Structure 1
Amino acid sequence: MDSGIIPMWQPLCLSGLLGFVVAASLLGITRRFRSIVQPWVVRRVQSDLPLILQIQRWQHRFFDIFFSVVSCLVSVPFYTGFIPILFWSGHSKLARQVALLMAFCDYIGNAIKDAISAPRPSCPPVRRVTATEDEKENAMEYGLPSSHALNTVCLAGYLLHYALTTYGHEMNGFRVLIGFSLVFLLVSLIGLGRIYLGMHSFIDVAAGITMGLVVLAFWLIVHDYIDNFLTSGQNVTSFSAGLSFVLLFAYPTPEAPTPSFEYHTAFIGVAFGLVSGIQQTYLLFHSEDVPRIFSPELSILVFFGRLLAGIPTILIVKFCSKALSKWLLPVICNTLGIPIRSSCYIPALKESDSSKNKSDNKQIGYLQRAISFLPYKTYDVDTGIRFLQYAGLGWSVSDLVPHLFTRLSLS
């Protein structure tokens, strides 16, 4: 479990990543990479327009609803409900692996999107369907790769791997074939749906699937090492905090502001909150000995009781952590003399349009500003607020709510 001893590899890892960020900023690696890749991607997106329009000729309200619903299977609201359900149903190892894998996928996918800054298919002539607020925000992001395709490959692939390794002795060849077929069908529907909805071109979806396969293969190699470190390593919480901090700096600067950085901040906040909570309560609530759903110790009625108590609790914690952060962070920054601004959370700290034009957008890495002799006068406090808000959400799922279950005799 966590202790005050700091293994040598941890500071070496963080300092190495920090050094890479500094070197990348000084050498302008993002701009150089974009200048090489973006023109090629733009040409491919434009060449895919006739095929996209051909698919959209099958326009029908049923397909609009069907593909919109299917796309929600890897959306932020889906993860908000799915990950707590895994934790509270007794599948804690699967839950923490899925949470960390999705945070990793989100970072990789969104970082590449903003690094390349390639547009989505032009609308018009392409018809873009955004049935939910979540989809409307997704449409504001850049195109390549398709995050939905990448996340679907990793999530469905890892769930299949978990099923095969955990319950493989109960599965015959036919069931295995069914599992692979379902994963293939889901990935195909997601990919086709993103094109039909006008959100992505073929090259975006192909890139997302390819990157998903690479990320999944890498994760299957390292996931046991990560889980062992998470559950029995040294200095886990402090290292996770430092890694989260450095990753905020390492995020590439896009050509124009998009919600991608906000998604990354939220996911990495949830991951840190989960890690900190698991470190405190692993033996109590998250070991392999905890009861699982459908067992005599955890009936379906008790599980529904957990959901009724747990879901409102984590939403309340999310609201309270956001309110506390909005009050506390400005006070800390003012005490330390750090000039701050707010894009949306704190109206009193919003900049005028003229001030915004003089400063860069909020997604620029803060370290890049620092090593450039601080040419930008203010820092967006919303990033810290969003991180702490979702860290509180993650902590409540893995620490606060399991303690609540004990109090309510739901454990």
Structure 2
Amino acid sequence: MEAAAGGAGLTKWQAAALSAVAGWVWAASLFGLTRRTRALVQPWVNRRVQAETPAIVRFQRTHHRLLDNFFSVLSCVVSVPFYTGFLPLLFWSGHSKLARQMTLLMAFCDYLGNSVKDAVSAPRPSSPPVRRVTATEDEKENAMEYGLPSSHALNTVCLMGYLLHYVLTYGPHDSVMVATGLCLAILLVTLVGLGRIYLGMHSLTDVIAGIGFGIVILAFWLAVHDHVDAFVVSGQNVTTFWASLSLLLCFAYPKPEFPTPSFEYHTAFNGVAFGIVYGVQQTYFHFHNPDVPLIFSPQLPLLAFVGRVLVGIPTILVVKFCSKALSRWLLPVMCSTLGIPIVSSCYVPALKISEKSKDKSDAKQGGYLQKVFSLFPQKAYDVDTGIRFVQYASLAWSVVDLRCFVHSSNEEVLTCEILLNEDRDHHEL
């Protein structure tokens, strides 16, 4: 064991990692790294997108209602809402390691991909002349983000690649299964990439950048995922370290030219990652170790799994609603008590940004913490970020930690069924 470093009880490597992230935030702000990077990369990307626009228009001449529906559905299948619903099912089906690794990988992809998007701030193909198909509310929000790289392409490469790696590592396979899996993964990535261009959401440069970033991130994750998982399930000071890292990642994010939903997505997945880690820490040996029953096994038949879903989904929705309501009331009170200057862009009407409230905030005198915050360039902090983080951290925690209630309920049902069967057999004898 390494010696503890600091009052928080962090190990040396944890303190060094957090210091490196904090140093990066300070250096990026001091030297304007986002602005310098944007000045170098954005003009080139803009030229590429403009040059590819006529080709996109020609490609879209093949449009048909069936193709519109096919690529729209395919985009939904590899979108954030889909994985938000799919990952809890993985946890409840007993595949906890796969579920937590895919969740953390998706949070990692979301952070890096959206950071690059907002750092470069390159536009999507102009519409018109490009025909943009936004069949869902999720797609309409995606259209408000910047273009490079394509998040759909990046996420598909990483998550399909990791899923294939997991299946081939922990399941029986031969050369035919490996070749089939690779072909299916490549086919899905290709279709997703073509779909993003066909729907008018991205240029070819955006898609290629998404695939390239995805390959690099996947290779890195495959090199470290075992170490990450070992740390999450049995490491030292996991909750303290991850909470500190989550806080820093809210600041270690580039400021775009114009506001986009990308930071909101990052905050949500940042909270989800923390909730998953905290929940696994609490109940690993009971509900997330390698010996837990898998779906379709005698210990977890399909009926018991359906019971988990029927109890689990309403539970996590209630937790999400209650945590949002509680944090909307509690966080402003805490910040006011500590003298931290805050505003709200959406969740707290009384704190919405206005010239009057801005003048009032600047004129208000506070304690030591407010004087410390006055040294930073940002004069007030959006409390919605904290509310969103708490909301999604609670949601993820309920998926992982409240499974004990669902598990116990199902065990009671199974026990009753066994006792009834035994009683019936006794009477027949």
Pairwise TM-score range, normalised by the shorter structure: over 0.9
Counterpart for residue 273 of structure 1: 275
Match of 2:235 among 233, 236, 260: 233
The offset of 1:16, in angstroms, is: 1.5
Counterpart for residue 126 of structure 1: 130
Q: Deviations over 1:123-158 (max 9, x none)?
A: 100011111111100000000000000000000000
Match of 1:341 among 335, 340, 343: 343
Within 1, Cα distance between the matches of 2:212 and 2:377?
A: 39
Within 2, Cα distance between the matches of 1:110 and 1:320?
A: 28
* Residue correspondence of structure 1 range 112-123 to structure 2 within 5 A: 112-123=116-127
The offset of 1:375, in angstroms, is: 4.5
Within 2, Cα distance between the matches of 1:118 and 1:176?
A: 37
Match of 1:219 among 218, 221, 224: 221
The offset of 1:37, in angstroms, is: 0.5
Counterpart for residue 363 of structure 1: none
The offset of 1:171, in angstroms, is: 2.0
Counterpart for residue 295 of structure 2: 293
CA change 1:70–1:237 in 2 (3 A) is same
The offset of 1:45, in angstroms, is: 0.5
Moved more, 37-46 or 175-184: 175-184
Alignment partner of 1:21 is 2:25: yes
Q: Please tell me whether Structure 1 or Structure 2 has the larger radius of gyration of its CA atoms.
A: 2
Within 2, Cα distance between the matches of 1:353 and 1:371?
A: 20
Match of 1:403 among 393, 401, 405: 405
Task: In structure 2, list runs of 5 or more residues that go unmatched.
Answer: 362-371, 415-429
Counterpart for residue 324 of structure 2: 322
Task: Give % identity.
Answer: 67
Counterpart for residue 197 of structure 1: 199
Within 2, Cα distance between the matches of 1:353 and 1:57?
A: 49
Match of 2:145 among 119, 141, 144: 141
Alignment partner of 1:186 is 2:222: no
* SS in structure 2 of the partner of residue 156 of structure 1: helix
Within 1, Cα distance between the matches of 2:374 and 2:187?
A: 49
CA contact (8 A) 2:49 2:203 kept: yes
Within 2, Cα distance between the matches of 1:394 and 1:190?
A: 27
Match of 1:8 among 2, 6, 12: 12
CA change 1:59–1:238 in 2 (3 A) is same
Within 2, Cα distance between the matches of 1:178 and 1:201?
A: 29
* SS in structure 1 of the partner of residue 129 of structure 2: coil
CA change 1:166–1:61 in 2 (3 A) is same
Moved more, 308-317 or 101-110: 308-317
The offset of 1:403, in angstroms, is: 2.9
Task: In structure 1, list runs of 5 or more residues that go unmatched.
Answer: 360-369
Within 1, Cα distance between the matches of 2:97 and 2:290?
A: 8
Within 2, Cα distance between the matches of 1:31 and 1:175?
A: 47
Counterpart for residue 365 of structure 2: none
CA change 1:356–1:257 in 2 (3 A) is farther
Counterpart for residue 310 of structure 2: 308
CA change 1:355–1:333 in 2 (3 A) is closer
Q: Deviations over 1:156-213 (max 9, x none)?
A: 000000011011xx32222221111110111011100000000000000000000000
CA change 1:347–1:5 in 2 (3 A) is closer
The offset of 1:374, in angstroms, is: 3.5
Counterpart for residue 379 of structure 1: 381
* Residue correspondence of structure 1 range 66-145 to structure 2 within 5 A: 66-145=70-149
Q: Deviations over 1:45-100 (max 9, x none)?
A: 01111111111001111111110110012222111111101111011010110000
CA contact (8 A) 1:314 1:401 kept: no
- Relative contact order higher in (CA < 8 Å, ≥ 6 apart): 1
Residue-pair matches, total: 398
* SS in structure 2 of the partner of residue 124 of structure 1: coil
CA contact (8 A) 1:119 1:142 kept: yes
CA contact (8 A) 2:145 2:261 kept: yes
Within 2, Cα distance between the matches of 1:99 and 1:229?
A: 15
TM-score (norm 2): 0.89
* SS in structure 2 of the partner of residue 48 of structure 1: helix
CA change 1:175–1:375 in 2 (3 A) is closer
CA contact (8 A) 2:123 2:146 kept: yes
Amino acid at match of 1:340: I
The offset of 1:407, in angstroms, is: 3.5
CA contact (8 A) 1:313 1:401 kept: no
Match of 1:243 among 242, 245, 255: 245
CA contact (8 A) 2:121 2:257 kept: yes
Q: Deviations over 1:8-34 (max 9, x none)?
A: 111111011101210111011111111
Counterpart for residue 362 of structure 1: none
CA contact (8 A) 2:268 2:392 kept: yes
Counterpart for residue 262 of structure 1: 264
User: What root-mean-square deviation, in Å, do the aligned CA atoms of Structure 1 and Structure 2 show?
Assistant: 2.1
Within 1, Cα distance between the matches of 2:206 and 2:198?
A: 13
